[in-house]
């Protein structure tokens, strides 16, 4: 959003000597000394923790609004509001008076100058610390290596993704997909791009900007990014090359404006699907699929041509059943899908938190039931009845004809009004384990008891009030542990925290019969 308070709140010099030492992403709160989610005030350069830690950054703003009765303030001090702060990890800017993320800048571009200065500090600290970290990693064995991630010791090293300028929507989707094991493993096992002539023939290489615009490959850059996310590095990975390819082949996502994470996910999966259909690195798509024994022909769902790993894992089939209310003629159509977009029923839209007493809590089952319930189409959606030879009133009902291996559920939190796209901030209760989809199947008797059960793998959350602003983070489970991915910051979390999240996109993985409910 465009913030009107920048001129009175951004007062510090871009190269202020008041900044603490070390990398900005590891700066400590001046009150509680926590290094989780540090925010720097753009009025006085003081550092405090974010609202999801102990909320001292917000308290700093609130305290600054209390007039000083015992001391006479200068005119400059009175104008300074301490309302705007910057995330030291993602470099996003937030205004507490607007209660939203900020996309504009001052006339002198001070916000961008501070952002660039923090990035330079981060890069300098990274360079100085690189050799020390490398020695520590070399001295520890792969089996016994322990990594301290924001105060929590774990044997798994999760890597964050740098925010390249409002790219949290992309980071949240990439982290979610990286924790869908079967999908991620497929891309990680692909061969790298090879140069087939000259002295470098046979070597593994990667697409870069210098290789020319016609040489970009979304599959290759996506593969590279997935390989980097769980390789054991303590430093955040910069998906710059992938973002460049996204700009090249997806014009809708050019620029540094905030984008819709669900829209990006659909574009990403569609383009991966199309590129894999044409073969990759000289290896046909069909031969790669045949090598992966877990993706059998019976599990493939074709969308826009031949099947790929995208449709084999995310692809399902819906039956759209329409009945004419005048003559009773029934029309059936089968539609493939990669995800299901679910409305949040209107009767729940006033309840914004799990513990709020205002009415019953909306559940994921309520949203699924609303999606599959019999619905009478309104006057703007009259059905062309072939028997009546004209448009008639009708009813519509969805059945799921085939469930996918990974069930992606998108909750419709953004709705257009006359002039604005508003957010539905309702809390929706969802299960971590055992989501039973059997009652939504067209032929449930043909499915085994375990084939209809799904366990949660990842959740994408939107923080803020609008689709063009706010911030995206993701929760995902990896080898039994839940992680919170907030751009370059990755922290261990627990199931209770995940269950309190206001989900925007949910990724459920089909439960394997042998593993049962013990897998998560």
Active site residues: 168, 471
- Among residues 480, 505, 510, 504, the alpha carbon closest in space to that of 492 is found at 480
459: which strand partners? 475, 506
Scanning the structure block, which residue is given the tokens 């994470």?
Answer: 261
CA distance 103 to 292: 45
376: which strand partners? 395
CA distance 10 to 434: 49
| Residue/partner pairs of 73-79 with CB below 8 Å, 24 or more apart | 76/11, 79/8
- Per the CB < 8 A criterion, the answer to whether 48 and 29 are in contact is yes
Please list, residue by residue across 122-155, b when 16 or more beta carbons sit within 10 angstroms of its beta carbon and e when fewer do. beebeeeeeeeeeeeeeeeeeeeeebebeeeeee
Q: In which element (H, E) is residue 392 found? A: strand 390-392
Cβ-based neighbour number of residue 334 at 10 Å: 12
Angle made by CA atoms 300, 280, 225, in degrees to the nearest 5: 90
- Among residues 85, 489, 7, 1, the alpha carbon closest in space to that of 257 is found at 1
Which residues 6+ apart lie within 8 Å of 332 measured at CB?
A: 319, 320, 321, 322
CA distance 473 to 424: 17
* N-terminal to C-terminal alpha carbon distance within the chain: 39
Phi-psi region of 215 (alpha: psi -120 to 50; beta: other; left: phi over 0): alpha
402: which strand partners? 317
Q: How far is CA 67 from the centre of its chain?
A: 41
Which residues 6+ apart lie within 8 Å of 462 measured at CB?
A: 261, 413, 423, 470, 471, 472, 502, 504
Beta strands in 116-175 (DSSP E): 147-149, 152-154
- Per the CB < 8 A criterion, the answer to whether 182 and 404 are in contact is no
* 147: three-class secondary structure by DSSP: strand
CA distance 258 to 471: 8
Backbone angles phi, psi at 169, to 5 degrees: -60, -40
């Amino acid at each position: 959003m465009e913030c009107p308070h920048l001129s009175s709140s951004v007062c510090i010099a871009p190269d202020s000597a008041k900044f603490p030492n070390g990398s900005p992403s590891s700066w400590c709160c001046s009150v509680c000394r926590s290094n989780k989610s540090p925010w720097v005030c753009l009025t006085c350069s003081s550092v405090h923790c974010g609202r999801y830690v102990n909320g001292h950054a917000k308290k700093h703003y609130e305290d600054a609004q209390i007039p000083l009765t015992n001391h006479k303030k200068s005119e400059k001090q009175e104008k300074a509001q301490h309302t705007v702060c910057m995330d030291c990890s993602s470099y996003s800017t937030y205004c507490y008076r607007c209660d939203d993320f900020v996309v504009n800048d001052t006339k002198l571009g001070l916000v961008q100058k501070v952002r660039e200065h923090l990035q330079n500090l981060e890069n300098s600290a990274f360079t100085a610390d690189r050799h020390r970290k490398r020695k520590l990693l070399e001295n520890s064995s792969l089996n016994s290596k322990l990594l301290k991630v924001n105060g929590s010791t774990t044997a798994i090293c999760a890597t964050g993704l740098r925010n390249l300028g409002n790219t949290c929507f992309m980071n949240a989707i990439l982290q979610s997909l990286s924790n869908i094991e079967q999908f991620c493993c497929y891309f990680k096992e692909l061969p790298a791009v090879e140069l087939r002539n000259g002295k470098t023939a046979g070597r593994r290489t990667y697409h870069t900007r210098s290789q020319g615009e016609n040489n970009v490959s979304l599959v290759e850059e996506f593969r590279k990014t997935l390989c980097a996310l769980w390789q054991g590095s303590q430093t955040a990975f910069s998906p710059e090359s992938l973002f460049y390819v996204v700009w090249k082949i997806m014009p809708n996502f050019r620029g540094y404006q905030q984008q819709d994470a669900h829209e990006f996910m659909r574009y990403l999966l569609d383009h991966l699907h199309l590129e894999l259909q044409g073969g990759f690195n000289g290896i046909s798509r069909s031969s790669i699929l045949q090598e992966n024994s877990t993706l059998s022909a019976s599990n493939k769902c074709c969308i826009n041509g031949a099947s790929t790993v995208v449709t084999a894992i995310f692809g399902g089939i819906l039956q759209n059943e329409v009945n004419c209310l005048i003559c009773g003629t029934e029309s059936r159509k089968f539609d493939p899908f990669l995800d299901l977009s679910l409305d949040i029923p209107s009767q729940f839209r006033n309840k914004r938190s799990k513990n709020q007493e205002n009415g019953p809590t909306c559940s994921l089952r309520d949203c699924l039931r609303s999606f599959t319930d019999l619905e009478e189409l309104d006057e703007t959606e009259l059905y062309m009845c072939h028997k009546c030879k004209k448009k008639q009133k009708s009813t519509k009902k969805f059945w799921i004809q085939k469930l996918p291996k990974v069930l992606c559920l998108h909750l419709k939190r953004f709705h257009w009004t006359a002039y604005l796209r508003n957010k539905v901030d309702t809390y929706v209760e969802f299960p971590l384990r055992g989501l039973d989809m059997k009652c939504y199947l067209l032929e449930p008797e043909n499915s085994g008891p375990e084939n209809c059960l799904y366990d949660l793998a990842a959740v994408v959350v939107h923080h803020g009030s609008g689709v063009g602003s706010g911030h995206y983070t993701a929760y995902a489970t990896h080898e039994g542990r839940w992680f919170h991915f907030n751009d370059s910051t990755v922290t261990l979390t627990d199931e209770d925290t995940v269950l309190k999240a206001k989900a925007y996109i949910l990724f459920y993985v089909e439960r394997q019969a042998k593993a049962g409910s013990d897998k998560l």
